[in-house]
Amino acid sequence: MSDPITVVGIGADGFAGLTDEARVALTAAGVVLGSARQLALLPPLAAEFVALPKPLRANLAQTVARHSGQGLCVLASGDPMFFGIGSTLVDLLGPRRVQVIAHPSSVSLAAARLGWPLERCVVASIVGRPIERLITQVGPGRQLLILGSGPDSPAAVGRLLTDLGYGSSELTVLAELGGPDEQLESGPASNWRGQPAAALHVIAVRCVAGPDVRTFATTPGLPDEAFDHDGQLTKRDVRAITLSRLAPGPGELLWDIGAGAGSIAVEWARADLSCRAVAIERDAERFERIRRNALALGVPDLQVVCGSAPAALAGLPAPDAVFVGGGVTVPGVLDAAWRALPGGGRLVANAVTLESEAVLLDWQRRVGGELTRVEISRPSPVGNFTAWRAALPVTVWAATR
């Protein structure tokens, strides 16, 4: 199992478009593994051609093991390390066992055709991913390069942009880039009439916002009205303070216990596309509401668990941070949250009542951390005048394991 595996990126121009290094690797291979479309791009070789297994990730390691010692070469579309099988193989086998021979990615080719500086573009993929993940990437003036997942992807992207108020955006589909059948077709997102896209395509979008579009930043503190809620919501200003203590980092996982409308979990997940969150909520109606909020605000991968903590925490992946917005006084909740955290993990809990505040004061005495009392006032009519009306103060406790 220690023999190296060579991954060769191949474009729509097939074998002729490969470097000498890539041709030599394929010619010397005993087994070439790839999709039917990729294998069809090759001329007859001495190697045995083997189709990729389905489902891919679940069976890939077993397939590789089956051909161990046979000079295995794996084909990838474009750049193997850009949303490609090269990344999957490195994850499964480690970088020392995988040799990658790169090829220009479809995104690089698309940027070259359009004259778009690649460093100014937002690159996304909807291959095997919910299309709602694009919501956080759309913004006035942005240039998006989206890897499509099927022939109807451009129409689906057009509908999403229109629903978001970006129907005037220019949408361009670039297919079979670099090959003899290269295609380019443009039109408005709101009235996309293009042909179904070829298997390999990139959807380029120059975002144009409609007059009534309201954009939401990925920084903490979305307006309260951005969420569907029944009043059980960590309000905007307190939410921003809370998330600053939770400090979401790329790839990190949050437990949002007693999630209510899921606002903390949603904003954590919006901070970076790789951020993950689990919202735990015992009320079935709020459970569904969290799912709707996650979809509407562009984080469809947010996991929602319907159940009561601490029992509902059993079996969840270990968190990097935990927020307790509801259930501070429930026996065992803070204990379970604290035990689940690794060294350096963050626990933040908010209290409004005297009883919950007393619990936080006790925990602060025992394990340390920072206590902050947040008092927010907003102007409110008093007859013909205006006065400040105070909201209930919130005590925020933040501690690092």
Q: Residues 6 or more apart from 243 whose CB is under 8 A from it?
A: 220, 221, 264, 267, 268, 271
The tokens describing 125, both together, are 């993929």
The verdict on residue 126 lying in a domain is yes
Q: Residues 6 or more apart from 3 whose CB is under 8 A from it?
A: 68, 69, 72, 97
Residues 266 and 317 in one domain: yes
Residues 149 and 279 in one domain: no
- Block residue for tokens 């992807």: 153
Residues 396 and 247 in one domain: yes
- Block residue for tokens 């799912």: 291
- Give the separation between CA 372 and CA 353, rounded to whole angstroms: 15
**Of all residues in the chain, what percent carry a pLDDT higher than 90?**
91
Indicate the residue among 206, 233, 264 that finishes a domain.
206
Confidence class of residue 198 from pLDDT cuts 50, 70 and 90? confident
208 pLDDT more than 80: yes
Residues 272 and 388 in one domain: yes
Residues 53 and 117 in one domain: no
CB of 126 closer than 8 Å to CB of 201: no
pTM: 0.89
Average pLDDT for residues 372-399, to the nearest whole number?
A: 96
Tally the domains of the chain. Answer: 3
- Tell me the pLDDT tens digit for each residue of 84-128: 999 999 999 999 999 999 999 999 999 999 999 999 999 999 998
1 pLDDT more than 60: no
The verdict on residue 212 lying in a domain is no
Confidence class of residue 2 from pLDDT cuts 50, 70 and 90? low
Indicate the average pLDDT of the chain: 95
Confidence class of residue 385 from pLDDT cuts 50, 70 and 90? very high
Average pLDDT for residues 218-236, to the nearest whole number?
A: 94
The verdict on residue 9 lying in a domain is yes
User: What's the pLDDT at 146?
Assistant: 97
- Give the separation between CA 279 and CA 254, rounded to whole angstroms: 8
Rounded to the nearest 5°, which phi and psi values hold at 178?
Answer: 90, -10
CATH of the domain at 184: 3.30.950.10
What is the number of other CB atoms lying within 10 angstroms of the CB of residue 314?
A: 9
Indicate the residue among 75, 104, 133 that finishes a domain.
104
Residues 245 and 382 in one domain: yes
CATH of the domain at 381: 3.40.50.150
- Give the separation between CA 296 and CA 262, rounded to whole angstroms: 12
Indicate the residue among 104, 136, 165 that finishes a domain.
104
Residues 46 and 119 in one domain: no
The amino acid occupying position 195 is Q
- Tell me the pLDDT tens digit for each residue of 119-175: 999 999 999 899 999 999 999 999 999 999 889 999 999 999 999 999 999 999 999
Residues 202 and 236 in one domain: no
Residues 84 and 54 in one domain: yes
Residues 270 and 356 in one domain: yes
Average pLDDT for residues 67-88, to the nearest whole number?
A: 94
User: What's the pLDDT at 128?
Assistant: 87
What is the number of other CB atoms lying within 10 angstroms of the CB of residue 110?
A: 26
Structural domain that includes position 373:
224-400
- Tell me the pLDDT tens digit for each residue of 13-60: 999 999 999 999 999 999 999 999 999 999 999 999 999 999 888 899
- Give the separation between CA 255 and CA 271, rounded to whole angstroms: 15
The verdict on residue 359 lying in a domain is yes
- Give the separation between CA 143 and CA 207, rounded to whole angstroms: 6
User: What's the pLDDT at 57?
Assistant: 86
Residues 199 and 75 in one domain: no
Average pLDDT for residues 329-337, to the nearest whole number?
A: 97
- Give the separation between CA 166 and CA 348, rounded to whole angstroms: 37
The verdict on residue 213 lying in a domain is no
Confidence class of residue 276 from pLDDT cuts 50, 70 and 90? very high
The verdict on residue 217 lying in a domain is no
The verdict on residue 176 lying in a domain is yes
Residues 367 and 253 in one domain: yes
The verdict on residue 216 lying in a domain is no
